[in-house]
Amino acid sequence: MIRVVIPNYLRRVKLSEARRPKYYIHGAELPEKYNTDRYSWRLRGKIKCLYDNKEGHFVVKNAKSAYKPTYQTIAGNEIYARMHERKRMLIVHSLKDHFKEHISTQIESIPEHLYPLSISMELHAPFGYADWDVDNLWIYHKCFLDSLRDLNLIPDDSVLHVRQAGQTTLVPTTDTPTMIFKIAEAPEECAPPIANMITVEESSQGDPGDVCIEDNVAIIYTGKTTVLFGAAKKAIRSVMTHALNTFSTVLVPEQIYNRYKDFFDESNYEGKVKVTVIKEWKN
């Protein structure tokens, strides 16, 4: 098992260096405290705004937050439900940068024998420190896996390589809030079974593009009078998808393979399907 320990994990992202001040505009409803002779309306540029005659400046409506940085707390429900795309992308990029700093100093490579992978996360934090709907932490999982991919530590985060992900375990503690990602071998039930073999045959009898798979034989229908390469490509993609999902090796006669080699290569999901060419005997 490989562990990536991230103390004081990122909980919020800075959106801007300082909030702009907002002013009371003429015609707006005012709080009762401003209905005195101390205040009057004056032009601020082309707009009349409330003016403090005693202090000698315009009244700032958002005085508590003006000129201060703005932050966005990271929570999956906010991102999922109603967040603006700019904020969402800022959070994603910030999280990935944060994770990459830690990953790059803790992982050199992921051994081949661990594949397919299981990636889980423990959150060590005191109650009240974070959002305790643990399912709202899904964005951390997503960005962590994307960071592994960006650093070329995994080929991809698809099911071809990662069979189990997204599990979060809360461990209450009074120590430093810490995220611990665990990269391990997926459970036995996620491992591929013993591979079958599918032999590819070609026929002109069926509807072009269709496939008939029975008794470990896949018959591809490539055209009734002439070969339709679009139909052949569609049929071969179906065979390769079936082989991927059934963990099968594809056996292809040399003549068929040579004719459609590009289609077999294009449909082979990152080389996960083994294709064996059956050599033809020549007298």
- Chain-centroid distance, C-alpha 47: 46
2-12+73-190 and 197-278: same fold?
Answer: no
| The pLDDT of residue 283 is above 50 | no
State whether CATH 3.30.1330 applies to domain 2-12+73-190: yes
Query: What long-range pairs does 188-195 form, CB within 8 A, spacing at least 24?
Result: 190/116, 190/118, 190/163, 190/164, 191/116, 192/247, 193/247, 194/247, 195/247, 195/248, 195/249, 195/274
Average pLDDT of the chain is 87
The pLDDT value given to residue 143: 94
The pLDDT value given to residue 145: 96
Q: Would you list the domain boundaries of the chain?
A: 2-12+73-190, 18-58, 197-278
**Which residue type occupies 25?**
I
For range 33-49, the mean pLDDT = 92
> Which CATH entry fits the domain spanning 197-278: 3.40.470.10, 3.40.50.1980, 3.40.220.10, 1.10.357.10?
3.40.220.10
Predicted confidence band of residue 73 (pLDDT cuts 50, 70, 90): confident
For residue range 220-262, list pLDDT tens digits in order.
999 888 889 999 999 999 999 998 888 888 999 999 999 999 9
**Does residue 41 contact residue 30 with C-beta atoms inside 8 Å?**
no
Percent residues over pLDDT 70 in the chain: 92
The pLDDT value given to residue 78: 67
- Chain-centroid distance, C-alpha 186: 19
* Least confident segment among 50-59, 100-109, 149-158, 182-191: 182-191
For range 125-140, the mean pLDDT = 78
